[in-house]
Chain A
Amino acid sequence: MAENTSEIRYLTPPNIELNREKYCRFQKNRIKYIDYKDEKFLLQFVNEQGKLLPRRITGTSLKYQRKVSQAVKRARHLALMPYVADMLK
C-alpha cells in the first residue's frame, strides 16, 4: 500500500522545508513570562482540537514548554480556551 502513495504526481512539489532550523521563540525574542490571559497568543501552541502542540513541532525549549502548558491549562480553567474543540483556528 505504501508505494502507491509515492506515485502521486504533485503538480507543484510540496514546499516542506526539510531541515528548517527550529528555534525556541521565547529565548529568541527574550519573552520571560507567558501570560495565561491573552488566549490569542496561546492559540499558536494548540492544534485544531485544542490540544497542546508537542515541542518537536513548535520547537520550544523544555523550560518554556512547561510554562506554555501551565498557561494553557490556566486559560482552560478560566474558560478562555476550550478543553476540546473542533476547527479551533
Chain B
Amino acid sequence: MTNRYETVFILTPVLSAEQVKETVVKFKKSLKDAGAKLKHEEDWGLKKLAYPIQKKSTGFYHLFEYEIEGEEIANMEVNLKRDEKVMRFLTVSLDKHAIAFVESRPQRKK
C-alpha cells in the first residue's frame, strides 16, 4: 500500500551547478519510474555542515517528499547509496501528524 515518505540527501559541494541539477533530475526520474507521486520538492542549496563529511564542510541539500509503494523504497535507496555524488541521505516515513504538519506549513524555500 502506498504511504508517504520524505527523503533528504546531501550532494558533495565539488559539483558544478548543472551536475547538481542533473543528479536531482536523475533521482526524480528514478522516483517516477518506481511509480512514485512526487508531492513536494525543496532545494536548500549549499549549506554548511555541522561536522565535516568525507572531508568536506559544505553540501547541497535536497528534499523529496513523495508517495510510493512500500517495497519500492529499498531499490530507491540502493541507487542513492550507489551514487557516489550523494554524501548522505535519510528517508523518513511520514505518519499522520507529520503529513498534517507538511501540508499545513509553508515549506522552507531557500
Contacts and interface: CB of A to CB of B under 8 A. Distances in A.
Contact of B100 (A32, A37, A83): A32
Nearest to A70: B92
B55 interface: no
Interface size bucket, A side?
Answer: 10 to 19
A33 B101 contact: yes
A79 B90 contact: no
B100 A79 contact: no
Contacts of B63: 37
Interface in B50-81: 50-51, 53, 59, 61, 63
Interface string A31-71: 01101111000000000000000000000000000000000
Interface size bucket, B side?
Answer: 10 to 19
A38 B63 CA distance: 13
Interface of A: 32-33, 35-38, 74, 76-83, 85
Q: Among B51, B59, B88, B97, find the residue whose CB has the most chain A CB atoms closer than 10 A.
A: B51
Nearest to B8: A78
A21 B49 CA distance: 37
B98 interface: yes
A72 B92 CA distance: 14
Contacts of A76: 50
B108 A79 contact: no
A74 B7 CA distance: 12
